[in-house]
Chain A
Amino acid sequence: MILIHCPYCEEDRPEVEFTYGGEAHIARPADPAALNDREWETYLYIRRNPRGPHAERWRHAHGCARFFNAVRDTVTDRFEVTYKTGEARPGDAK
């Protein structure tokens, strides 16, 4: 079983304590009424689905119950890093 590091609990915990929350860093539009259909489609449905590093949301449901983000390789399922909600994806220039 995969061990996932919760950045809030600062512990490696088994995967079954967590739930998956989909791709990370998809911000809800600031002005929803201004979006056209194509932009709504992109926001709601288009996902990167990469073969390789994937930034995604996880929730420590049976622990602290908080959402956090992780970068996981989708080919090996190895977690590269986990980080708190609101922090930039590690490696991204800001």
Chain B
Amino acid sequence: MKRFSGLNLFAEAFNGHKGWPEHWPDKAPKAAYDVIIIGAGGHGLGAAYYLAAKYGITNVAVIEKGWLGGGNAGRNTTIIRSNYLYDESAHLYDHAVKMWDGLSQELNYNVMYSKRGVLMLAHNVHDIQSFKRHIHANRLNGVDNEWLTAEQCKAYCPPLDIAANARHPVLGGALQRRGGTARHDSVAWGYARGAVARGVDIIQNCAVTGIRRGPDGAVLGVETEKGFIGAKKIGVSAAGSTSLVMRMAGLDFPLESYPLQALVSEPVKPIFPCVVMSNTVHAYISQSDKGELVIGAGTDAYVSYSQRGALHIIEHTLAAICEIFPIFTRMRMLRTWGGIVDVTPDRSPILAKTPVPGLYVNCGWGTGGFKATPGAADLLAHTIAHDAPHAINAPFNLDRFRNGRLIDEAAAAAVAH
């Protein structure tokens, strides 16, 4: 890996930039690896990176059905925050937010983490009470979150309409200043580049078709479109397709896959300084560094793998955006798309060992996996390397659906599901 630096950039400028090596050359799979990660999104590539960088396990392959970063890593709205209600969630998501700091330096790749603040709007008395409860819970857990009055919200985000007679009146908001956005593709690319530099193979366009297990039940490797690849440890980080992969190992998972849509407007000059979410009217919005307004909402209603969704969801989302930000009523939308998110019954992820020896899983992030990318990757690597979960991800096990110790963020409504 040739490091990016001012000096190298300067030198390459005289060389027509022909001296940069390929970041992740195409590799034919070896017969066997120490660890195989299924799914080359941010989470999977990050896990491979941390296995190599933190635990010295470099004989690792990341196997991807499509192309690197082409799933939900490339389809999300890049929002980062950790203002979750429950202790377990606050620790998990804040672990990730702490890692976003300094990630660009660690990877030598600019992931463009921007702490522009995430503002959640309160439109009614219930919102106010619920958000204030969140703020107190967050502060007890060392997570920054503060209450803003409507006027303070308007000062923080000038396009906001706080008129008292608005369709969705703004009564205040909860602001996490450390929240913000990052460049989603750079996260996948940065991890891929860092992992490959440490000896990891990334094998794209290679769907996993089966998981082979020995007589003792432990994994032996994966069947793929490019033949059998052996491994004693397999980490699955396959988002919407996780339950399909798990069924190959004979496991039924408490997951359902839903389309989650997002859309962007035509690019405009900087107008929107932060991220604004409104759970009550079900929409969120920020502006990318390219200038597009990035807009999202809740999932579509039904289980689907179609990677697109219904137009009426987008109509509903844009109606909400136009009510809160009348300034955007004449913006033209450029693109819409959908990703398939895997949703658990309690809307908290599963990051754990499985009943199959040697099989580990990182799934169930639902609509909010991007923010957790560095943390989830780090904890999956830890769980694989130690064959045991870290204290942070120990509560996010599979047993909770049997013993009832759910981490019920679904009811806590910290998330726009």
Contact = CB atoms under 8 A, between A and B. Distances in A.
Interface of A: 1-2, 15-16, 19-20, 23, 37-38, 40-42, 44-47, 49, 51, 54, 56, 72, 74-77
A74 B303 contact: yes
A16 B301 CA distance: 10
Contacts of A2: 310
A37 B312 contact: no
Contact of B256 (A49, A76, A77): A49
B305 interface: yes
A16 B241 CA distance: 27
12 contacts: A15-B312, A37-B402, A37-B403, A40-B402, A44-B401, A47-B255, A51-B305, A54-B303, A74-B304, A74-B306, A75-B304, A77-B304
Contacts of B403: 37
B253 interface: yes
Interface string B367-393: 000000000000000000000000000
B410 interface: no
Secondary structure at chain B's binding surface: helix, strand, loop or mixed? loop
Contacts of A74: 257, 303-306
Interface in B196-212: none
B301 A19 contact: yes
Nearest to A41: B402
B243 A49 contact: yes
Given A37-B403, A51-B244, A46 B253 contact: yes
Given A37-B402, A56-B302, A45 B310 contact: no
B312 to A, nearest CB: 5
Given A2-B310, A37-B402, A45 B303 contact: no
A37 B402 CA distance: 6
Interface string B249-282: 0001111110000000000000000000000000
B345 interface: yes
B312 A16 contact: yes
B306 A45 contact: no
Nearest to B309: A77
B311 interface: yes
Contacts of B304: 74-75, 77
Contact of B254 (A15, A16, A46, A77): A46
B305 A42 contact: no
B402 A77 contact: no
Contacts of A44: 345, 401
Given A41-B254, A51-B305, A74-B306, 17 more contacts: A1-B310, A15-B312, A16-B312, A40-B402, A42-B252, A44-B401, A46-B253, A47-B255, A49-B243, A49-B253, A49-B303, A56-B302, A56-B303, A75-B305, A76-B306, A77-B302, A77-B304
Interface in B229-257: 241, 243-244, 252-257
Contacts of B303: 23, 47, 49, 54, 56, 74
A1 B310 CA distance: 6
B408 to A, nearest CB: 13
Contacts of B255: 47, 49
Among A16, A40, A77, the one with the most B-chain Cβ atoms within 10 Å of its Cβ is: A77
Among B243, B252, B302, B304, the one with the most A-chain Cβ atoms within 10 Å of its Cβ is: B302
Contact of A41 (B244, B310, B311, B401): B401
A49 B345 CA distance: 13
A77 B301 CA distance: 12
A41 B401 CA distance: 6
Given A15-B310, A44-B345, A72 B302 contact: yes
A56 B303 CA distance: 9
